[in-house]
Amino acid sequence: MTFPEEKSTVPTVEMRDIVLRFPGVLANDHVNFTLYPGEIHALLGENGAGKSTLMNALMGLYRPESGEIRIHGERVSFNSPKDAIAAGIGMVHQHFMLVENQTVTENILIGLDTPHFALDLKKFDHEISDLAEQFGIHIDPTAKIWQLSVGEQQRVEILKILYRGADILIMDEPTAVLAPQEADELIATLKGMAAQGKSIAFISHKLNEVKQVADKLTVLRRGRVTAERVELHDFTRESLASLMVGREVIFNLHKCEQTPGPEVLRLENVSALNNKNLPALRNVNLSLHEGEILGIAGVAGNGQSELVEVITGLRPCSGQIWLGGKDIANKPPAFSIQQGLAHIPEDRIGVGTAPNLSITSNIIMKRYDQEPVSQKWQLDYVAADDVASGLKTEYDIQAPNVHTQARKLSGGNLQKLILARELSSLPHLIVAMQPTRGLDVGAIEGVQQLLLNQRSQGCAILLVSEDLDELLSLSDRIAVMYEGEVAGVICSEDFDITQIGLMMTGTTSQDLQTQKEKPSASNFDKVLKNLHQAEEPAQAGTTATPELPFESKTQADELPQEGLTSPHDDSYQHLTEKERVLRKVLGDKYKQGDTE
Amino acid sequence: MNWIEILRSGISTGTVLLIAAIGEILTERSGIQNLGVEGMMLVGAMAGFRVAFTTGNVWMGLLAAVAAGGLLSLAHAVVTIHFQADQTVSGLSLTFLGTGLALVLGEGFTGHTAPVIPRASIPLLSQIPYLGQILFTDHNLLVYFGYILVPLVAYYINKTRPGLHLRAVGENPAAADTLGVNIYRTRYIYTFIGGCFAGLAGAAISVAIAPGWYSNLTVSGQGWIAVALVIFAHWNPWRAALGGYLFGILRRFTLDLQGPRVLFGLANPFFFNTNLVFFLQMTPYVLTIIALIWGSSAARKKRIGAPAALGTPYQRGERGL
């Protein structure tokens, strides 16, 4: 498809009929991709659809089997990234390509030809500050990479490209690792760069984000283009999703009505410290019943991960945790597993699996001591493979065979592997932390459906998520956590996204009841105004933000720090910080409400 | 006891460790661990002695030692970089290979004398009281080479472009690769250079510090000490120099303790009971272990330590799809 207004300009990048094959996989099957100056072009697709592969081919990391690449109209053939860099292409990889113990400047200078030998780092520090300023990026060029936040590291990646004078930027899922406010800053930076004439290819599998940032869109599915250079406003979220996944995606899963059964889990006065030995949980009381999903909402870092860890036996705590009539607090995880606990951890690679072991080994990790896998003192690997193949088929884990290493699986398949192991143990209680984060729409639907199936089979589920939509659609009750305490528990019939949002930022449910006028989600300003007024009398540094924005760091250093609270006395800071949290909480809903 | 003499000859002994450790630091900084230092040193010692003996020219001997060490290290490079084999296994086999080669090729040269590296004192500097006598008087030329080598290598690693690329390849090869640094070439080069230094260190024993060829007793485990020294030094040439000289002095000191009948006004226990000497000989190694423990906890705080990619073969697109 070509557009009349584009015929006049030469595309910066033109990829035609690209074919790329990996052993056993056709990663790109005659893919076309065109990029014009000054545009942000989104490349949308599921994990493993071939987006990154295509862009790596453009970067000269992979060589296409056939097809042609033209840069500014001229045909090129890259042998290494060096050629691509020389042609003005730069890529920010999903996993940052930075040397941790080198400075920002050193990282930017890697791979250049001049100066040939001696490096006068001070001179380059200045050059890089100037360049950063030109694009409105704040960074200290003498800082070591490990001292920087993820968002700052990403800026280093962008600077690396800009310093090489690139006019084509490839961003590989850049927001996957960022906090919402950092993502906003990034999108603003990218738009600014596009306005200065740079061409940006933006890889993503997040539909909302693509709608927010991109001018044009190309969709890939299983290595093939399903929509090429289309305008974004022609599409709804649903139609984009079906282009990506190749079938209808159900965004609102059907949840059957059922009455919860007897109590499965009860937490009594549970308190715990975090890794820095500061209080992370304070007198948490919760109860969870058979056939019930209890959602845990909260801004990241308000005690959710510690809550999951104390229940799963990974963190010491005070108080009692009753599971099926036994106190599992401070007991080894094996004991809780015997009581019917299943854990779907947040960190799939570090905690959820042993990445270098096979699918089989990962599957039998919880049942190695049970028949048929366990034969007295040895393991029956034939039986183990049988179990694993059975579950591989049942849970549709896509891998060549059960001997494939876990780390070679895509994010969605890795999560399916964990779910297969955990759910096949027929648990009474599932503790799931961020079970759908980083997955694409198709995989999210699958995971959520599995959880709902468990619910209808009478399993109790504790679901921790930062995705409020997910919590609202799956949970029977939602407990909101704020600074290690349960700020309130809301039943599904009373779900109100604004109320949950306010509780996440530190307004207790009692405070909300005394408030006569209930703020509505569609009136954002009003919410903020109310929030600000409600907070004013309480005041004095009880802000909800566990992380500081970078700009306020210097300012924050001058203020005294007390316990868990972040020092933001300035009322403007206060408001924007609230705003950011609320935007994170309500953002999608708010904008969606606008467009529909 | 002559303290000046102990320190002076300790510096000289330490130079061997220093040269070998600097070579290993360069190799390890590129992400390749070569445990074959002992083997490469032996081959270097043998080649240096044999060539010096047959040609009558000690400089030809040094050249041969450097070439021999470098060539042997290329075996390690091919196996670990090209074929991506396990670096520990390959390094250990290299020690066996080097030892065997050196013993076979050095057969029959024991007891001969070959020309040695000339000695010299530095004018003016040697006049400094104590320090001049220890550092600048009547040393073989390789000791002075060691003095120059340390700052040069430190500058090279930290302040030059090739040094920057070397560090990047050892820390995060994928990052360096995406910026167009040739990982394989870099690793080949520094593995080779490390081998050259190990060969030179071997020759420093056989044609300079303890002249002669005494089969595998020539090097007597100093290659292993050099490997440990790299860890102790946190991959930093300055600390390697410090450790090398310290270790050299300790070795010399424990030797000297066994000599006199009377020590500090008391009967010398090491003179009368030879079994105690074994404990004496342990002390440098025990101190190494203590220094390693102490050093690594300090390093963890400051985030210095082994190059992150040390021992891991690099292959582009490991993560694949």
d(CA A193, CA A198): 6
For chains A and B, count residue pairs whose Cβ atoms are closer than 8 Å.
92
- Residue A8, Cβ neighbours under 10 Å: how many? 6
- The DSSP line for A379-428 is E-HHHHHHHHHHHHHHTT--SS-TTSBGGGS-HHHHHHHHHHHHHTT--S
CA atoms within 13 A on the CB side of A514: 5
Query: Which ipTM score applies to this complex?
Result: 0.86
Q: List the single residue in B160, B180, B308 with the smallest CB-CB distance to A111.
A: B180
Query: How confident is chain A (596 residues) per 10-residue block, as mean pLDDT?
Result: 54 92 82 92 84 89 90 90 89 87 93 86 92 87 86 90 91 78 84 90 84 88 86 80 75 73 92 86 93 88 90 92 91 90 89 90 87 83 91 88 86 89 91 87 87 92 87 90 89 81 72 51 45 42 40 39 39 49 52 38
The sign of the CA dihedral B242, B247, B249, B250 is positive
**Residue in B with minimal Cα distance to A60:** B178
d(CA B122, CA B140): 11
Averaged pLDDT, B285-307:
72
Asked whether the beta carbons of residue B171 and residue A100 sit closer than 8 angstroms, the reply is yes
Average pLDDT, chain B: 89
d(CA A363, CA A388): 6
**Residue in A with minimal Cα distance to B309:** A99
Asked whether the beta carbons of residue B159 and residue A118 sit closer than 8 angstroms, the reply is yes
Domains of chain B in start order, with CATH, are 3-304 (1.10.3470)
3-class state of residue A462 by DSSP: strand
Interface test with B, best of A26, A85, A99, A107 (most B CBs within 10 A): A99
Asked whether the beta carbons of residue B308 and residue A100 sit closer than 8 angstroms, the reply is yes
- How far is the alpha carbon of B64 from chain A, nearest alpha carbon, in Å? 29
Residues of A in contact with B160 (CB under 8 A): 117-119
d(CA A138, CA A156): 10
Residues of B with CB under 8 A from a CB of A: 159-162, 164-165, 167-168, 171-172, 174-182, 303-304, 308, 316-317, 319-321
Give the CA distances from residue A79 to residues A61, A319, A396, A407, B188, in Å, rounded to whole numbers and listed in that order.
8, 62, 37, 28, 20
Q: Convert the pLDDT of each residue in B224-260 to its tens digit.
A: 989 988 988 889 999 999 999 998 998 888 888 877 7
**Residue in B with minimal Cα distance to A78:** B180
**Residue in B with minimal Cα distance to A164:** B179
Q: Please give the pLDDT value at position A580.
A: 56
Among residues A366, A371, A341, which one has the least CA distance to residue A353? Answer: A366
Among residues A314, A354, A306, A349, which one has the least CA distance to residue A331? Answer: A314
- How far is the alpha carbon of B69 from chain A, nearest alpha carbon, in Å? 27
Torsions phi, psi for A398 (to 5 deg): -90, 110
- How far is the alpha carbon of B175 from chain A, nearest alpha carbon, in Å? 4
Bridge partners of residue A34, in order along the sequence: A14
d(CA B168, CA B178): 11
Q: Do B34 and B257 contact (CB within 8 A), yes or no? A: no
Q: Please give the pLDDT value at position B61.
A: 95
- What percent of chain B lies above the pLDDT cut of 70? 95
Q: Please give the pLDDT value at position B300.
A: 64
Please check whether residue A79 touches B, CB under 8 A: no
- How far is the alpha carbon of B224 from chain A, nearest alpha carbon, in Å? 28
> Is residue B66 very low, low, confident or very high in pLDDT (cuts 50, 70, 90)?
very high
Q: Are strands A374-375 and A378-379 parallel, antiparallel or unpaired?
A: antiparallel
Please check whether residue A82 touches B, CB under 8 A: yes
Averaged pLDDT, B312-320:
67
Q: Convert the pLDDT of each residue in B124-178 to its tens digit.
A: 898 998 899 999 999 999 999 999 999 999 999 999 999 999 999 999 999 998 8
pTM score: 0.71
Two tokens, residue B64:
């041969």
Asked whether the beta carbons of residue B316 and residue A61 sit closer than 8 angstroms, the reply is yes
d(CA A415, CA A421): 10
Q: Are strands A293-297 and A318-323 parallel, antiparallel or unpaired?
A: unpaired
- How far is the alpha carbon of A206 from chain B, nearest alpha carbon, in Å? 18
Examine the pLDDT at B100 and tell me if it is beyond 90: yes
Asked whether the beta carbons of residue B175 and residue A48 sit closer than 8 angstroms, the reply is no
Please check whether residue A368 touches B, CB under 8 A: no
Q: Please give the pLDDT value at position A591.
A: 43
d(CA A387, CA A536): 59
3-class state of residue A296 by DSSP: strand
Asked whether the beta carbons of residue A160 and residue B159 sit closer than 8 angstroms, the reply is no
- The DSSP line for B237-287 is HHHHHHHHHHHHHHHHHHHHHTS-SEETTEE-HHHH-THHHHHHHHHHHHH
Please check whether residue A400 touches B, CB under 8 A: no
Q: Please give the pLDDT value at position A505.
A: 75
Identity of the residue numbered A578 = K
Asked whether the beta carbons of residue A91 and residue B178 sit closer than 8 angstroms, the reply is yes
**Residue in B with minimal Cα distance to A49:** B321
**Residue in B with minimal Cα distance to A20:** B321
Asked whether the beta carbons of residue B321 and residue A48 sit closer than 8 angstroms, the reply is yes
